[in-house]
Amino acid sequence: MKLSTRTRYGIRAILELAENSGTTPLQIKVIAKRQDISVKYLEQLMAMLKSAGLVKSVRGSKGGYLLAKTPNQIKLSDCFKALEGPVITAECLEDESYCQRTADCVARQLWAEVQNAIMSVLDSMTLQDLVDRAKSGKKLFYQI
């Protein structure tokens, strides 16, 4: 499974807001420059995050974007769903009629476990958790 550019860039953008949380709004061109994302593409991502209620926009010369909630209230699963949609590792998990083997398929059980593990990780972490990791210098992933 590979995450889309939309999700990777969207998470980076909302993390930028989380690191700036509680201060003044960040202009889209500032976020775009810091995260090396085109302004036009970032506008689309921010619209998705805004319609999900995760960010809000402020108009005016000192306007920009802010988080709609505190970073510890926004789960990564919320961000993921807003940008990517639901986590679905196999078609048969979304639609049982997709395959006639659904009832006794061991592979389907495996894909369900993988899907649940992904959602468990995304549900257990907030934007604040990632901000704290960034500040402490802890790595998010460890190589085996």
- Residue 92 located in a structural domain: yes
Q: Which amino acid appears at position 127 of this protein?
A: L
- Residue 33 located in a structural domain: yes
DSSP readout, 62-129? Answer: T-EEEESS-GGG-BHHHHHHHHH-S--SSHHHH-GGG-TTGGG-HHHHHHHHHHHHHHHHHHH-BHHH
**57 by DSSP, 3-state: which?**
strand
In whole angstroms, what is the distance from residue 84 CA to residue 82 CA? 6
- Residue 127 located in a structural domain: yes
Residue 36, pLDDT score = 94
In whole angstroms, what is the distance from residue 65 CA to residue 57 CA? 5
CATH code where residue 10 lies: 1.10.10.10
For the chain, what is the radius of gyration of the CA atoms? 18
- Residue 12 located in a structural domain: yes
Tens digit of each residue's pLDDT (9 = 90 or more) over 28-74: 999 999 999 999 999 999 999 999 999 999 998 888 999 999 999 99
Tens digit of each residue's pLDDT (9 = 90 or more) over 79-91: 999 999 988 888 8
In whole angstroms, what is the distance from residue 102 CA to residue 96 CA? 6
pLDDT above 70 for 141? no
- Residue 99 located in a structural domain: yes
- Residue 61 located in a structural domain: yes
Domain count of the chain?
1
- Residue 17 located in a structural domain: yes
DSSP state of 52: T
